[in-house]
Amino acid sequence: MPPVSDAFARELPEVPLLHLLDEGLLAVLEPGGAIGPRAVDRMTRVIGLARDSGAALIQLTCSAYSPLVPTLRLLAPVPVLAVDDVLVETAVRRGRRIGLISTQSLTERALRAAADRAGVELDLAAIVFRTAFEALARGDFDGHDRLLAEQIRAMGDRDVIVLGQASMARVMPTLSPELAARVLTSPGLAVAEAQRVLGI
């Protein structure tokens, strides 16, 4: 959540934010990260709280729940946005030789679906890389950035390198300007999309 909330504070400081953090959302996913009945029930309750708060827009920050967004949109009279929708669409527009680093396979599926919608064929190098996320969960922020930067540099020959989780955005200041220019992260893109949807 912090990379996304930080991006909102930086780009849209005039917009008030209400944070609803449920640390149990990841725990109720099925083995392999699938969204089962318990996850649907839990996220439905979170969306209800956001809806009842009077929010003008609901921004999900966890990409694991992005496949559920079409269903969640039926529960609220305001836009419900997945954090990685605009990420994968932007990646497909930027280049055909794409590298993807993600903590689960859902982002790869979303990226391929975006390419199909755009009618383009990808040369995709995708890895599921959880080691850096595990370091982050332990509070080892420097270790997270170092491990992730190594994987990004290993994909340095790609036109575009997509970081599948919003939490990965913290690595950006550690990259060279040339490499960072080809790396896409979701927080800033999500804010720009929210701004577009809200018309502000």
Banded pLDDT at 167 (limits 50, 70, 90): confident
Strands 160-163 and 183-184: parallel
Query: 168 and 100 in one domain?
Result: yes
For range 32-39, the mean pLDDT: 87
Query: 181 and 90 in one domain?
Result: yes
Query: 121 and 32 in one domain?
Result: no
Taking 70 as the threshold, does the pLDDT of residue 1 lie above it?
Answer: no
- Please tell me the distance from the alpha carbon of residue 43 to that of residue 121, in angstroms, as a whole number: 34
- Please tell me the distance from the alpha carbon of residue 104 to that of residue 176, in angstroms, as a whole number: 26
pLDDT tens digits along 118-132: 999 999 999 988 887
Kindly state the tokens that stand for 136: 């982050």
Neighbour tally for 90: CB within 10 Å: 17
Query: 180 and 110 in one domain?
Result: yes
Query: 94 and 14 in one domain?
Result: no
Residue 138 DSSP class: T
Query: 89 and 168 in one domain?
Result: yes
Of 26, 27, 4, the residue nearest 17 (C-alpha): 4
Query: 168 and 147 in one domain?
Result: yes
Banded pLDDT at 36 (limits 50, 70, 90): very high
- The tally of domains found in the chain comes to 2
42 phi/psi in degrees, rounded to 5: -70, -45
Distances (CA, A) of 137 to 28, 66, 106, 126, 167: 17, 21, 20, 22, 11
Q: What residue numbers bound the domain in which 24 lies?
A: 2-83+189-198
pTM: 0.86
Query: 40 and 94 in one domain?
Result: no
Query: 176 and 105 in one domain?
Result: yes
CATH of the domain at 69: 3.40.50
Query: 70 and 112 in one domain?
Result: no
Of 168, 167, 162, the residue nearest 148 (C-alpha): 168
- Please tell me the distance from the alpha carbon of residue 27 to that of residue 24, in angstroms, as a whole number: 5
CATH of the domain at 110: 3.40.50.1860
